[in-house]
Amino acid sequence: MKTATLTMARSINEGLRRAMEEDPKVLIMGEDVGKLGGVFRVTDGLQKDFGEDRVIDTPLAESGIIGTAIGMAIRGYRPVCEIQFDGFVFPAANQIITQLAKMPMRSLGALRLPVVVRVPCGGGIGAVEHHSESPESYFTHTAGLRVMACANPLDAYTMIQQAIRLDDPVIFFEPKRRYWEKAEIDLGMDLREAWPVDRAKVVREGTDVTVLAYGPMVKTVLDAAAAAEGEGRSLEVVDLRSLNPLDTETVFRSVRKTGRCVVAHEAPTYSGFGAELAARITEHCFYSLEAPVLRACGFSTPYPPSRLEEHYLPDLDRVLDAVDRSFGW
Amino acid sequence: MPLQIGHTHIELISANMTADAAVAPPRAGSAWKSAGTDGDPVSDGPDAQERHVTIDASRGADAPPELVQLLTPEGERLDHPDYHIELTDDEVRGLYRDLVLVRRVDLEAVALQRQGELGIWASLLGQEAAQIGSGRALTDRDMAFPTYREHGVAWCRNVDPVKLLGLFRGVNHGGWDPTEHNFHLYTIVIGSQTLHATGYAMGVQRDGADAAVIAYFGDGATSQGDVNESFIWASVNNAPIVFFCQNNQWAISEPLERQTRIPLYRRASGFGFPGLRVDGNDVFACLAVTRKALEDARSGQGPTLIEAFTYRMGAHTTSDDPTRYRLASELEAWKLKDPIERVKAYLFKNQIAGQDFFDAVDEEAKALGRDVRRRCLEMPDPNPLAIFDHVYAEPHALIDEERAQYAAYLSSFEGEGR
């Protein structure tokens, strides 16, 4: 056992390092990922140890990052791209949606594009516009992409390595306000023993209501569950981890058990990922439900200026309010 | 009336070229008829003429001084201080054969579309020399990234022409294995492939391989961000890539003047690598300049931009109607620069080939056309469940679930005489 107490940012760094050690085809590409180590220091020290050919400081053009990564992947490499902030993924949207997602099918399976696109996501760090967004639904809606979000340092360490090993393109969301959360990680762990990458995880068992979350909201929901316990309410918390594919089996099992469901995400409520969850749960768990699936999500507005973000982001109280509404049905 | 664009360097048509000329049909019996008049019929309404062309691209048929040319439209060989090429008689005959055969495949595809067998077709008519010249410059190890019009390059990469038709017939989105031919799939989003090519070239660089990459795109694509980003990426990485721009003067209805104020090849200097303009209807020159640029790329000298100055003699696609936006006289001027006729003239004049050869190539072309037609018609519609194939490389529960559901739904109709 080679354990260490690491932040989430450092856990991803260690995961990247291990993936690069194990496979010489793994490359890192992005803006400021080299000497600086990324604006969140996730790639800190990797260029020094693996060289400029494998940790590539790219020109400042996100479409170029993804487009050239696709070319590298066609050539047999496994690029891990960093998009510096969520709001900057949009210049790359064409390459992600029309090329990265669809080229494998276009080739009738002749080409595989094992490209990982890391996107620091979500709000809560007092940033200016375009630095606090949650664009996951644009990508879950695009067939051909896998979309996942890590919520804690251990998952961050294992999931980034699993994502790199997958032969499909992966949009990998990292909750930036959780980058500094710490946990003890076994750096020598056998990845085969890690939680399967496309499976959800029940991170707190409960009996009264299922709360579904991913990425930055998992901790919020766990805090809510702890608070609810004091009020005699037992929340079961499911960390979805993978949004596409979605582990419906784990979700449905939990909802059938509790009979109630609340979805929590930072992204706007309208047409958000919660809508897909609500539709699927309604279809598959209809006779188990005591109340409709409710959402504790961001407002259906653009992300506000940072002085207002605490109003925008669903917090512990908003989650519990949704739980209360579920019981009031 | 001439369109007032406001840039002094843009030459407008002379007053005697009226809009009426634009609606004149192609000359009866013209070889171009099948590709030149299609799509929506031109309206006879009073405003129809006003919408018609006012910019004259036919002046491009007059070779500007900076154009690399090794074979004149009359079939005379020229020397060029930087681009020398020695071709055996067999090689010249081979190039002629390539040009004729790809034109035949193209005409057959246009006809198949007219008969409802293809949904659409993007004709390469007029661009054969640019594609065969550059395509024949490639070694087996080189990799090509095409647009959706590179049927001639596909031919050089040994892609079965029938496989090109699959996409246009709608049975797949790209029916060949790019790794088998070192010829990537057709890319329909304009310019996106230039970044893939550049990334691939960066991979070649890291592999230390003796190979280069060629990225095809058109004049319209030079306005795309991706093309400009690929220039930057290739430049700062000194990537082994050749950017091959077929400037066919038209991006659907938009003339070159809508994309640029300077000759396209000159853009390269701003990105820090050489650019040149070649007579895109001269297969010798296209071969020579591309071969040199590929050698430069392989030997670590970085990218080159080649602007192949050519002309889209047909419509943008079979859905387009160029009579709405360009002058018939422009096409007539370019017909005098035909990429095939000049090679034929050269072969004749130098007694490298006689009538027997030309007849044999024509027969081969006819047979190829028949073969392409037959196998296009034989192409089966895909199994409906193919919708779910290759979406992901790894197992995906939702796709599997939907496939099973749809299979069950389809089978529920069995026995209903459906």
Q: Are strands A26-30 and B275-279 parallel, antiparallel or unpaired?
A: unpaired
Same domain, A143 and A214: no
Tokens representing B96 are 């002629």
Chain B interface test: which of A108, A116, A145, A284 (most B C-beta within 10 Å): A108
pLDDT band of B358, cuts 50, 70, 90 = very high
Residues in chain A, pLDDT under 50: none
Same domain, B94 and B221: yes
Compute the average pLDDT of residues B102-122: 97
In chain B, what percentage of residues exceed pLDDT 90? 83
Q: Residue length, chain A? A: 329
**Nearest one of B246, B236, B247 to B214, comparing CA atoms:** B246
Does A105 touch chain B if contact means CB atoms closer than 8 Å?
A: yes
Same domain, A229 and A83: no
pLDDT band of B235, cuts 50, 70, 90 = very high
Closest alpha carbon within chain A to B143: A75
Same domain, B126 and B222: yes
Domain of residue B97, CATH code: 3.40.50.970
Which chain A residues are within 8 Å of B192, Cβ to Cβ?
67, 94-95, 98-99
**pLDDT attached to residue B415:** 81
Same domain, A28 and A82: yes
Compute the average pLDDT of residues B208-230: 98
Same domain, A166 and A207: no
Compute the average pLDDT of residues B221-236: 98
Same domain, B324 and B402: no
Same domain, A126 and A168: yes
Same domain, A29 and A135: yes
**pLDDT attached to residue B53:** 38
Q: How far apart are CA B322 and CA B311, in angstroms?
A: 13
Same domain, B395 and B372: no
Which chain A residues are within 8 Å of B196, Cβ to Cβ?
67-68, 70-71, 74, 99
Whether residue B11 is predicted with pLDDT greater than 70 in this model: the reply is no
Out of B30-39, B217-226, B309-318, B332-341, least confident range: B30-39
Residue B11 located in a structural domain: no
Query: Rounded to the nearest 5 degrees, what angle is found at the Cα of A260, between the Cα atoms of A257 and A264?
Result: 115
Give Cα A75 to chain centroid, integer Å: 27
Residue B112 located in a structural domain: yes
Same domain, B169 and B140: yes
**pLDDT attached to residue B416:** 75
Beta-carbon count within 10 A of B269 CB: 12
Compute the average pLDDT of residues B21-44: 36
Enumerate the active-site residues of A: 131
What phi and psi, each to the nearest 5 degrees, are found at residue A83?
-95, 125
Q: What is the pLDDT of residues B189-208, one digit of tens each?
A: 999 999 999 999 999 999 99
Which chain A residues are within 8 Å of B392, Cβ to Cβ?
104, 144, 146, 168
Same domain, A185 and A209: no
Q: How far apart are CA A17 and CA B292, in angstroms?
A: 41
The secondary element (H helix, E strand) that includes residue B102 is helix B89-114
Whether residue B59 is predicted with pLDDT greater than 50 in this model: the reply is no
Q: Give how far A130 is from chain B: nearest CA, Å.
A: 21
Same domain, B256 and B396: no
**pLDDT attached to residue B44:** 40
**pLDDT attached to residue B119:** 96
Q: What is the pLDDT of residues B237-279, one digit of tens each?
A: 999 999 999 999 999 999 999 999 999 999 999 999 999 999 9
Does B191 touch chain A if contact means CB atoms closer than 8 Å?
A: no
Same domain, B314 and B405: no
Which chain A residues are within 8 Å of B187, Cβ to Cβ?
99
Same domain, B401 and B319: no
Whether residue B9 is predicted with pLDDT greater than 80 in this model: the reply is no
Closest alpha carbon within chain A to B213: A71
CB contact under 8 A, A106 and B226: no
Total domains present in chain B: 2
Tokens representing A200 are 């959800």
Residue B384 located in a structural domain: no
Q: Can you give the residue range of the structural domain that contains B275?
A: 19-378
- Identify the domain boundary among A144, A177, A193: A193
Domain of residue A62, CATH code: 3.40.50.970
Same domain, B32 and B57: yes
- Nearest Cβ partner of B396 from A53, A76, A245? A245
Contact between A300 and A294 (Cβ < 8 Å): no
Q: How far apart are CA B313 and CA B154, in angstroms?
A: 20
**pLDDT attached to residue B65:** 61
- Identify the domain boundary among A170, A193, A216: A193
Same domain, A184 and A254: no
Sheet of B67-68: strand order equals: B67-68, B275-279, B304-309, B241-247, B213-218, B143-145
Whether residue B50 is predicted with pLDDT greater than 80 in this model: the reply is no
- Identify the domain boundary among A193, A228, A253: A193
Q: What is the pLDDT of residues B289-339, one digit of tens each?
A: 999 999 999 999 999 999 999 999 999 999 999 999 999 999 999 999 999
Same domain, B144 and B221: yes
**pLDDT attached to residue B51:** 37
Same domain, A136 and A237: no
What phi and psi, each to the nearest 5 degrees, are found at residue B251?
-110, 95
**pLDDT attached to residue A2:** 85
CB contact under 8 A, A245 and B397: yes
Q: Is B181 a catalytic residue?
A: no
pLDDT band of B15, cuts 50, 70, 90 = very low
Same domain, B88 and B175: yes
Same domain, B351 and B416: no
Q: Which amino acid is at B193?
A: Q
Residue B211 located in a structural domain: yes
**Tally of CA atoms within 13 A in the half-sphere of B412 that contains its CB:** 6
SS3 (DSSP) at A184: strand
Total domains present in chain A: 2
DSSP for A143-162 reads TT-EEEE--SHHHHHHHHHH
Domain of residue A292, CATH code: 3.40.50.920
- Which of B311, B325, B326, B342 is catalytic? The answer is B325
Whether residue B101 is predicted with pLDDT greater than 60 in this model: the reply is yes
Contact between A259 and A276 (Cβ < 8 Å): no
Does A60 touch chain B if contact means CB atoms closer than 8 Å?
A: no
Q: Can you give the residue range of the structural domain that contains A174?
A: 3-193
